[in-house]
Amino acid sequence: MNQKKSTMVVFSGDLDKAIASYIIATGSASMGNEVTMFFTFWGLTILRKENAVPVQKNRMDKLFAKMLPRGPRKLGISKMNVGGLGAKMMKYTMKKKNIVTLQELIELAQELDIKMVACTMSMDVLGIKKEELIDGIEYAGVASYLAEANEANHNLFV
């Protein structure tokens, strides 16, 4: 038994990069690899629930909460976003061409037992609480990510 491992630090919260991350992650898991995705900083926005969850926040955390997108459907793209227009164009064309959506990719990742981990330090920085993130994920610090990465040959930072 010598199972290969893939890890990804998902730092970016851009729709296009999120799609790329999940396509690589689900592809790797489909090959039989053990896959860990570690969501830090803006990457946490991919895991946010769509609706506001009533939690106690200080003023700065409330501001971050308002400014940051809530989940896959609200993300912008890294280029040509133009106030969300680029993201709409990309979603429109991907739908027309029957390409899998980010929401579907996240579900597929969960079916494939990909370990999705929210970085607790980043949650602290951005004032994001567990209740605000989707179910079925884990919570840990960088040491947990590094323990996986140390045993993996395929490690990416997105």
Q: Does 103 bind its own copies (CB under 8 A)?
A: no
Alpha carbons 15 and 77: distance in angstroms, whole number: 5
Q: Does 31 bind its own copies (CB under 8 A)?
A: yes
Out of 52, 53, 55, 146, the only residue in the binding site for its own copies (CB under 8 A) is 146
To its own copies, the closest distance from the beta carbon of 49 in angstroms equals: 20
Alpha carbons 59 and 122: distance in angstroms, whole number: 17
Q: Does 143 bind its own copies (CB under 8 A)?
A: yes
- Stretch of residues binding its own copies (CB under 8 A), selected from 49-57, 59-67, 107-115, 131-139: 59-67
Residue 75 is encoded by which pair of tokens?
């993300």
Instruction: Provide the β-strand partners of residue 37.
Output: 8, 116
Cβ-proximal residues to 97 (8 Å cutoff; 6+ apart), any chain: none
Out of 34, 57, 61, 134, the only residue in the binding site for its own copies (CB under 8 A) is 61
To its own copies, the closest distance from the beta carbon of 94 in angstroms equals: 6
Out of 64, 103, 129, 130, the only residue in the binding site for its own copies (CB under 8 A) is 64
- Stretch of residues binding its own copies (CB under 8 A), selected from 21-29, 49-57, 105-113, 130-138: 21-29
Out of 49, 50, 55, 93, the only residue in the binding site for its own copies (CB under 8 A) is 93
Q: For tokens 């501001």, name the residue.
A: 63
To its own copies, the closest distance from the beta carbon of 18 in angstroms equals: 11
Alpha carbons 41 and 61: distance in angstroms, whole number: 13
> What's the Cα-to-Cα distance from 2 to each of 6, 26, 115, 137, 151, rounded to whole Å?
13, 19, 18, 25, 11
Alpha carbons 82 and 7: distance in angstroms, whole number: 31
- Stretch of residues binding its own copies (CB under 8 A), selected from 49-57, 103-111, 122-130, 132-140: 122-130
